[in-house]
Structure 1
Amino acid sequence: MSAPTHSIHTVFSIETYDVSKKFDRWLMRLESAFEVFLVPNEKKAAYLLHYMGPDAYDVLCDKVSPENPNNMEYNDLIKEMKQHYNPEPLEIAENFRFLQRKQNEGESVQQYLTTLQRLATTCKFGDYLKKALRNQFVFGLRTQNIQSRLLEMKDLTIERALEVAISMETSARDAAQLHRSNVASASVNSVNCEKGNNDRFSSKRAFAKSSSNNSKNVNFKNYCYRCGSSGKGLFQK
């Protein structure tokens, strides 16, 4: 049997730049495509101008006017695009935003850490990055039990903190689900028990009523109050 084949793109293709997204992220994909398709350096500017899309191209033309973008070098074009779509953030403001981020209601610990990692990319933490992530991760947790457990641990790393937090979060969720199941089961059993008692009470009441009716239907005039005989001719002359 022949080995499976994989389709290989032989024509350069990438989506045009969405101006609502980060330019740096799109540029990384573009330059990866340059490597895959072996685009020569002298052609990169033309590819960039084509795939940046009409909106970004209009912005670029306005920025470099009266110069023509088609006559500019690739690195100069990139510089102009970054200045407009990815301006250098203010480090203090970015750090403040990072330190203000707490875990939101309904947000998992994994989602919370992912958000912190994204915010940290503009904080210039350098070698302090992992400690900054660990500290803010622990400080911002909503669940006190998880937070207390992490605060007790020595030499805690962000990797270990996430592992413990996920484990405790999962255990708490499973325990809550089990509790809800037990409560629901107990409620059903209570209803069934009450129904059974009501059925037995109804049966006894029906039996008592039936006995009472039977007693009323007896013709006591046909019975002797002394011997209990039911003969009709006992008192007849």
Structure 2
Amino acid sequence: MATIGRVPEIEATKEDFDSYLEHFERWLAANEIKDEKKQTYLSCVLGPTEYGLLKGLIEPIKAVELNYAELTETLSRYFKPKPILIAERFRYYQRHQSQGETVADYILALKRLASTCEFARFLDDALRDKFVCGLTGEAYHRRLLSEKDLTFKKACDIALGLELVHRDTIELSGHAERQKGVHKVSDARGEKAHRSHTFFRPVLKVTQEQSSPHLKAKLLEMWGR
């Protein structure tokens, strides 16, 4: 039977084991691999280093003597040890929006941190509270703190909208300033051209000694008379 997709060998030292395992189990389901075969497939996708590590973790038992669930649990405990809850929540509550970080990226960061905090039914409230407190910018706080029955999703939608308006305002202001600069340059060039075409007649004082008929004729010629 032809298989759907391809699962590469796992190198747990270079990637997140839980993410790989989730991908691998989806592949097993798509290809309708039976439970008794899953252990064999898992052994095949382990890289040499990871397979040697597994053997060391389960000795003196052999890998073929354990089922799929026992093998994955052994590997998960090693590559992803259970975190200390208070430390995970400390990191979560210390996370604020960084300089230049978009609202969307901040939302994603909070969700990732919250995934190991075991908030359970309190998850939505915890995300909402930290999101509002951690945003950088008084405009966000003024708007969100005035909203009744605020949920995490609603807070995210409002903040994303405010960010978009702020970004558009900056872009429009920049465009207006550039247009203003163009008009200034154009006006300056027009004024310069006007001055260059303006004829200023010289005002000469002719002394009695210089008032010869020849000189007067020259002056009249200069003045266009």
> What is aligned with 2:153?
159
Q: Does 1:15 align with 2:15?
A: no
TM-score, structure 1 normalization: 0.81
Q: CA deviation at 1:203?
A: 2.1
TM-superposed deviation, 1:11: 2.1
Structure 1: segments with no counterpart, 5+ residues = 1-8, 225-237
Pairing 1:147–2:147 present? no
Structure showing greater Rg: 1
Q: CA shift at 1:10, angstroms? A: 2.1
Partner of 1:106: 100
Q: CA deviation at 1:65?
A: 2.6
User: In the alignment, which residue of structure 1 is the partner of 2:167?
Assistant: 173
Shift of 1:123: 0.2
Determine the structure 2 residue equivalent to 1:42: 36
Residue 196 and residue 56 in structure 1: after superposition, are their counterparts in 2 closer, same or farther (change >3 A)? same
- Post-superposition offset of 1:222: 5.9
Residues 143-222 of structure 1: matches in 2 within 5 Å? Answer: 143-204=137-198, 207-208=199-200, 211-212=201-202, 221=213
How much does 1:34 deviate? 1.7
Equivalences for residues 12-161 of structure 1 within 5 A = 13-19=6-12, 20-161=14-155
TM-superposed deviation, 1:14: 1.1
Distance 1:131 1:21 in 2: 31
Distance 1:223 1:59, change over 3 A: closer
Q: TM-score, normalised by structure 2?
A: 0.85
Note the C-alpha offset of 1:40: 1.6
State the percentage of identical aligned residues.
Answer: 30
Equivalent-residue separation in structure 1 for 2:162 and 2:60 (angstroms): 61
2:21 and 2:214 map into 1 onto residues whose CA distance is: 113
d(CA) in 2 for partners of 1:190 and 1:179? 17
Stretches of structure 2 that go unaligned for 5 or more consecutive residues are: 217-225
- CA RMSD in angstroms, aligned pairs only: 2.5
